[in-house]
A and B are shown apart, each in its own frame.
Chain A
């Protein structure tokens, strides 16, 4: 028996096998990286077909998160507007320290909020309550601007913000969320401004609220953002607080 020859044959066949396996692994890995930070080829093609444009970056993080329970101490959806006694320069919004120095004594719990430049306009700056580094899209602090001065604010305040106790779940990646939206929801010609992970839930006319990790997708020329549920991938838009009172509905109940 020619051992030397047999070994050569085996070496060559294992080499081939390794190349095949290696290729397989590499494509898997590439797919995985793709869905993290970049859109898949398929989505890009669809975007081209539907003439959809994406301006912002696609975040590559898709952490494991739980739903949040929390409690409003103000009326959800209709916070009171408070006028500032002395207006403050609006540019302090760009520096956390300056913001704290300028308004920290006036607006309670200012530290909990973070500025969101994407949804803010020149007239209204929007800050969101942050929970573990993620914004809660239903809890806003609005700063009203006039002549580059902050003249008033309105604030949703919450307490007892905590995870709901269930097992944290892996959320969808941003590219998966975008893919869903592009395939099913968005109209041709839409411009996607930004996609951002945070918490959002259906709002009720109650103190207690419950929200889930969601991707907020901002569109240009569309005031209301879309929300993609982080786990179930259901798409919704912002709604007014749902109240039990339906009397103003058409076909409402009879009155005496």
Chain B
């Protein structure tokens, strides 16, 4: 009896253990192993080339001061600009000290002393600036946004001063131990000596005295397809719906994220709302996030400049301004291209707008056009209805469609307003129009004209080169002595010559190259006339 009960109990226990084992193995699948049947992680397709943040950070422009209230402006991706930028990147800025914004009479400094201003638009946090310039780490600067760096030479003392300006203009930091020498400054200035001369009234907006040469281009472009970007952004084809909105925009969404495609697929906007918490985002972190996001989703098309925009959006909004032929692209409503705009929140890109058009591969035709300068431009600016909101004035290229897969890029004067909008101020002068030559800002015009240090001499060498006119690209205005072709871009050299020689101010220098312009023959003859008097001056001076 006992044995029977034991056998039964044993059989029961064996069966029970088998049953429990079965339940453990199959019936209670571990939680969290959620089925993601339709989720497939396709390796993302590579789109455009990648970029490093170092290549996206550079001044919006550089202003060179020659002393005697003469200035010139250098724009990114031009020869002189690149030379100076490269040199400055190897210089060290140390020993910062805060001084009041009014500690110096900046107007006087601007007009009297030779120097260089690097202007960063809305300003760049020092952490980022350190990626491209050797700024000493300093708690003092931590929370700042550096909008300008101004390096100049006090002629009387023969000393260099370096100042960093905060974006609001209220705080100024002096770098007491920067390793920039007097001859560095001379060298930088000499790089810009042949550039057209600019005038300023407020130290912010600089207007060229004469019409500015600019390139018009008609380029073919390529395009990524929205599908490429959809795949790249890992939209799951099985759970993505697409429909059209009221304005005809095609929308793709997986309910959380959305991609809106506008303008025949040329412009896209990706939105991915996240929860907003109060914790502040570091602007530099946003910039890194934005750069790496663009690297993996869409890539870069040519040169871009990083802009950390606005005051309210500062730290969240990141803009990459595209450049073409050294000019920022100003997109027209009907042909949007030229800037990528990202919003970063808590390290996540929540909004990403860009063009799918790529210009870099396309062939282009170029035509020379002129942008109005001098009084004409000043008049346009004065009449501009939002004059008092203008924060910056710069030559840009406006986009418009020019046939199938072709874009026309027309030079314009653009203004940036306080709220961040960019508008066209003035269009280029009519094509083929003859233009007064651009005046050079002049050779080394430091007030201490008697000094002959190395760099100053270098600048004068340049001036003499101009006088001797050894190439059509250089000083062809003076070359009119022997030939008759005039080339606007070279006329600066003539001015150099006149200037360096006579030491006269801008107005008298202007006579040197005044009529030396012209791509056509008649202008060339004028050039000869105008140049007649000048070589003599130049010779006597040299």
Q: Is the interface of A mostly helix, strand, loop or mixed?
A: mixed
On whether the beta carbons of A250 and B420 are closer than 8 Å, the reply is yes
Is the C-beta of A221 less than 8 angstroms from some C-beta in chain B? no
Q: Does B28 contact A (CB under 8 A)?
A: yes
Nearest Cβ distance between residue A171 and chain B, in whole angstroms? 9
Min CB gap A66→B, angstroms:
10
Residues of A within 8 A of B257 (CB): 202
Residue of A nearest to B32 (CB): A176
**Interfacial chain B residues near A229, Cβ < 8 Å:** 255-256
Residues of A within 8 A of B274 (CB): 234-237
Contact bitstring A1-23, B, C-beta under 8 A = 1, else 0: 00110011011001101100110
Interface string of A165-193 (1 = CB under 8 A from B): 01101100000000000000111000000
Q: List CB contacts (< 8 Å) of B17-58 with chain A.
A: 17, 20-21, 23-24, 28, 31, 34-35, 37-38
Inter-chain contacts of B265 with A (CB < 8 A): none
Residues of chain A with a CB closer than 8 A to B247's CB = 205, 243-245
> Do A253 and B275 have beta carbons less than 8 Å apart?
no
Q: Is B479 an interface residue (CB 8 A)?
A: no
With A18-B17, A67-B255, A210-B241 already in contact, the answer to whether A167 and B309 are too (CB < 8 A) is: no
- Asked if residues A167 and B37 are in contact (CB atoms below 8 Å), the reply is yes
Asked if A253 contacts B239 (CB within 8 A), the reply is no
Q: Does B245 contact A (CB under 8 A)?
A: yes
Q: Are B35 and A35 in contact (CB under 8 A)?
A: no
B276→A201 contact, CB < 8 A: no
Considering the chains assembled together, what is the distance between the CA atoms of A186 and B275 in angstroms?
9
Least CB separation from B319: chain A residue: A251
B421–A252 touching, CB < 8 Å: yes
Q: How far apart are the CA atoms of A7 and B7 in the complex, in Å?
A: 7
Enumerate B118-145 residues with CB–CB distance to A below 8 Å: none
Number of A residues contacting the other chain (C-beta, 8 Å)? 63
**Minimum C-beta distance from B276 to chain A (A):** 6
Partner of A255, one of B244, B258, B269, B333: B333
- Cβ A211 vs Cβ B251 within 8 A: no
Interface flag for A45 (CB, 8 Å): no
> In the complex, which residues of chain A have a beta carbon less than 8 angstroms from the beta carbon of B419?
250
Which of B8-16, B191-199, B218-226 interfaces with chain A?
B8-16
Interfacial residues of chain A within 226-243, with CB under 8 A of chain B in the complex = 226, 229, 231-232, 234-237, 239, 242-243
The interface centre, meaning the residue of B38, B243, B423 with most chain A CB atoms within 10 A of its CB, is: B243
Within 8 A of B (CB), among A104-120: none
For B276, list chain A residues within 8 Å (CB).
Answer: 237
B238: Cβ under 8 A from any A Cβ: yes
B379-410 residues with Cβ-Cβ distance < 8 A to A are 396, 398
Say if the beta carbon of A207 comes within 8 Å of chain B: yes
CB-contact partner of B331 in A239, A244, A253, under 8 A: A253
Q: Does A206 contact B (CB under 8 A)?
A: yes
Q: Which residue of A lies closest to B422 (CB)?
A: A254
Are B309 and A250 in contact, CB atoms less than 8 angstroms apart?
yes
- Interface residue? A164 (CB, 8 A): yes
Q: Are B353 and A246 in contact (CB under 8 A)?
A: yes
Q: Say yes or no: is B278 at the interface (Cβ < 8 Å to chain A).
A: yes
B322, CB-defined interface residue at 8 Å: no
Residues of the A chain whose Cβ atoms lie less than 8 Å from the Cβ of B336: 253
**Is B249 located at the chain interface by the 8 A CB criterion?**
yes
Closest to A250 in B: B420
- Which residue in B241, B249, B256, B341 is a CB contact (below 8 Å) of A249? B341
Q: Is B253 in contact with chain A by the CB < 8 A criterion?
A: yes
Contact A32 B253 (CB under 8 A): no
Partner of A202, one of B243, B246, B255, B421: B255
Determine whether the beta carbon of A210 is less than 8 Å from that of B253.
Answer: yes
Interchain nearest-CB distance for B24 vs A (Å): 6
Collect the chain A residues with CB atoms within 8 Å of residue B307's CB.
251
Please indicate the chain B residues that have their CB under 8 angstroms from the CB of A67 in the complex: 239, 255
Q: Is A208 an interface residue (CB 8 A)?
A: yes
State A48–B260 Cα separation when bound (angstroms): 43
Report yes or no: A7 in contact with B6, Cβ–Cβ below 8 A.
yes
A252 CA / B245 CA spacing, docked (Å):
21
CA distance A206 to B253 in the complex (A): 12
Contact with A along B307-321 (1 / 0, CB 8 A): 101100100010100
Q: In whole Å, how far is A111's beta carbon from the nearest beta carbon of chain B?
A: 26
Which residues on B sit within 8 Å (CB–CB) of A24? 20, 24
Residue A212 lies at the interface, judged by CB distance under 8 Å to chain B: yes
CA distance A84 to B409 in the complex (A): 57
Do B271 and A254 touch (CB < 8 A)? no
* Assembled-state Cα–Cα distance A32/B414 (Å): 64
A21, A25, A231, A252 — which one has the most chain B CB atoms within 10 A of its CB? A252
Contact A244 B273, beta carbon cutoff 8 Å = no
B315-371 interface with A by 8 A CB criterion: 317, 319, 330-333, 336, 339, 341, 353
Residues of chain A contacted by B277 (CB below 8 angstroms): 185-187
Task: Tell me the bound Cα distance from A25 to B19 in angstroms.
Answer: 11
12 further A-B contacts with Cβ under 8 Å, apart from A4-B2, A169-B35, A244-B260, are A25-B23, A29-B28, A67-B255, A164-B241, A187-B279, A208-B241, A232-B256, A243-B247, A244-B262, A251-B339, A251-B420, A254-B422
17 residue pairs A–B, Cβ–Cβ below 8 Å: A11-B9, A14-B13, A14-B16, A15-B13, A18-B17, A202-B273, A205-B246, A206-B244, A206-B251, A229-B255, A231-B34, A235-B275, A236-B274, A244-B260, A251-B317, A251-B421, A254-B421
Binding site for A on B (CB under 8 A): 2-3, 6-7, 9-10, 13-14, 16-17, 20-21, 23-24, 28, 31, 34-35, 37-38, 238-239, 241, 243-247, 249, 251, 253-258, 260, 262, 269, 271, 273-279, 307, 309-310, 313, 317, 319, 330-333, 336, 339, 341, 353, 396, 398, 414, 419-424
**Which 4 pairs show the lowest CB-CB distances between chains A and B?**
A206-B245, A250-B420, A14-B13, A208-B243
Q: Mark A residues whose CB is within 8 Å of B.
A: 3-4, 7-8, 10-11, 14-15, 17-18, 21-22, 24-25, 28-29, 31-32, 35, 67, 69, 164, 166-167, 169-170, 185-187, 200-202, 204-208, 210-212, 226, 229, 231-232, 234-237, 239, 242-247, 249-256
